[in-house]
Amino acid sequence: MISDIVDWLSCPHCATALIVEESSGVRLLCEEGHAFDVARPGYVSLLAGGGVPGTADTAEMVAERAAFLGAGHYDGIADLIADLAADAADGAADDDSCVLDLGAGTGYYLARVLDRVDRPGIALDVSKHAARLAAKAHPRIGAVVADAWAGLPVRGRAASVLLNVFAPRNPREMRRVLRPSGRAIVVVPEPDHLRELIAEYGLMAVDDRKPQRLREQFADRFEVESEHPCKTVLSLSADEVSRLIGMGPNAWHERAEEVRSGGAATVSVRAYVLSPR
């Protein structure tokens, strides 16, 4: 709920603290007078510009993702993230912190983490459609619409665990909101991820240099503490293949409609545990 996470949020306009005000509907107020209404589904938009960027996931993409993840196809990835997050939380200096998911989508991975980590969770995503589902994914999740490329509406050193799963990465802001004793868990696809579907449908391939580029991206602010590969082969129906294509960036190319049959799909990702420099 928003009230559970408000202490770690900040105004996107002036960076001052926010409080919950309930006299005429639920909204967040800052000391400079900026106000943000909490939507009926339970999320709040803290986009500084007021409008959602064109890259936000659509309602259709979010629905496809919810259906695919709900079927358990990525449970192995979620379990790995939850294990790493639990280890990171155990090593944190104190309990006065939150778990922050940057690019949280439907809240699927964050909810799995909160089942293991007894702290509030902030689900940040630029899509209001994703935030609507994330707000209901777990009782301790507060969902916020925000842009990863802008300054995050989160107070400095708020998080002891920061998740970033298949999502845009902003190392400067990630370092600012993470506690010195905290850990960031970044999950990215490997070059052979979904290789069968890439060959069959001409989907976007993963750059072979992705591991090197990730290390370079974080080098000034984080150190790679450990790496954890996760690989499996799924057997999917045609509908499931269509959902898998339709829930990600390939959906912008409308290739999900071209699915002809089911088949095998290699799921290959790597989770990086990063410690702040």
Q: How remote is the C-alpha of 269 from its chain's centroid?
A: 15
Model confidence pLDDT, tens digit, residues 4-23? 899 999 999 999 999 998 87
Give percent of the chain above pLDDT 70.
94
DSSP assigned state of 57: P
Least confident of 53-57, 177-181, 196-200: 53-57
Least confident of 22-26, 92-96, 106-110, 265-269: 92-96
Give percent of the chain above pLDDT 90.
77
Q: Which of 54 and 127 is assigned the larger pLDDT?
A: 127
CATH for 33: 3.40.50.150
d(CA 246, CA 67): 11
At 148, which amino acid appears? Answer: A
Question: What is the predicted pLDDT for the residue at 52?
Answer: 52
Q: Please check whether residue 59 is in contact with residue 129, taking contact to mean a CB–CB distance below 8 angstroms.
A: yes
For 46, other C-beta atoms within 10 Å of its C-beta total 23
Closest CA to 20 of 32, 129, 4: 4
Least confident of 53-67, 96-110, 241-255: 241-255
Question: What is the predicted pLDDT for the residue at 251?
Answer: 66
Q: Please check whether residue 6 is in contact with residue 19, taking contact to mean a CB–CB distance below 8 angstroms.
A: yes
Q: What is the mean pLDDT of the chain?
A: 91
- Containing structural domain, residue 66: 2-276
User: Tokens 């926010």 — which residue?
Assistant: 18
d(CA 228, CA 29): 41
Question: What is the predicted pLDDT for the residue at 79?
Answer: 98
> Tokens in use for 104?
């949280």
Closest CA to 266 of 191, 211, 176, 155: 191
Model confidence pLDDT, tens digit, residues 201-222? 888 888 888 889 999 999 999 9
When divided into structural domains, the chain yields a total of 1
Residue 253 has pLDDT above 70, yes or no: no
